[in-house]
Each structure stands twice: as C-alpha cells, then as structure tokens.
C-alpha cells in the first residue's frame, strides 16, 4: 500500500512540476514579445526624435511614469501610432515633452543658424 501512495505522490509532484514549467515558458514567451515591442518603440524614438537608443528608452520610461501607464503598453501605443497614425493625445503630449527634455539640442546633419 505504501508503494502505491509513494507512486501517486511522485506522479503528483511530476504533474505539479510540469505545470510550473509550462507557466514559466508562458512567462518567458510574454517577456520576449514585450521586449520586442519595447525595442520597436525605442527604434521609433531614435528615428522620429533623433535621439540615441538610451535616450529613447528614457523617453518611453518617462512617458510611462508621467501617464501612469505600464511601459509595455506605452510601447504598444507608440508602435501602433507608427503603423496606423493614431495615438492618444495624452501620450503624444508626454512624448513631445519627454523628447524635448531628452532629445538633441540640434538636429544631426544641420548647422546652427547665424544671425
């Protein structure tokens, strides 16, 4: 009888471990997708805002903090904006402000105007 109980116990532990691993795999998949979306949004900041990738990250982080929207969601909205041309006005305003704070003082490839 004890051997049967041990067998069931091991079987249950094995099933629990499989469940834990399946959850971990799902979390890792979500993290990879999230990372890709954030990287795409940083790329948009680099291209449109003429900032470095580090500055693009800072811009997204500041927008997230100032709007109280998770960074991944801000990144999703930025990527959708690039694809569809629409972004909530609150996000756009914060993006402009963050780019003003973190962006270049001069557009690359231009020379300052002389009086």
pLDDT tens-place string over residues 21-50:
788 777 776 766 678 999 999 999 999 899
Structure tokens at 26: 């799902």
Q: 99-108 burial, b if ≥16 CB within 10 A, otherwise e? A: beebbeeeee
The conformation of residue 114, written as its DSSP 8-state character, comes to: -
pLDDT score at 105: 53
The closest alpha carbon to 91, from 109, 113, 76, belongs to 76
- Collapsed DSSP state (helix, strand, coil) of residue 52: coil
Q: Is the pLDDT of residue 103 over 90?
A: no
Give this prediction's pTM.
Answer: 0.67
């Amino acid at each position: 009888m004890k051997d049967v109980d041990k067998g069931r116990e091991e079987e249950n532990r094995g099933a629990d471990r499989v469940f834990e691993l399946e959850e971990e795999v799902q979390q890792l998949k979500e993290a990879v997708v999230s990372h890709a979306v954030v990287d795409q949004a940083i790329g948009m900041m680099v291209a449109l805002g003429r900032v470095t990738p580090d500055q693009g990250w800072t811009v997204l982080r500041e927008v997230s903090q100032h709007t109280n929207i998770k960074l991944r969601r801000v990144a999703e909205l930025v990527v959708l904006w690039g694809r569809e041309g629409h972004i909530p006005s609150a996000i756009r305003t914060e993006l402009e402000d963050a780019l003003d704070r973190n962006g270049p003082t001069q557009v690359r490839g231009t020379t300052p105007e002389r009086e």
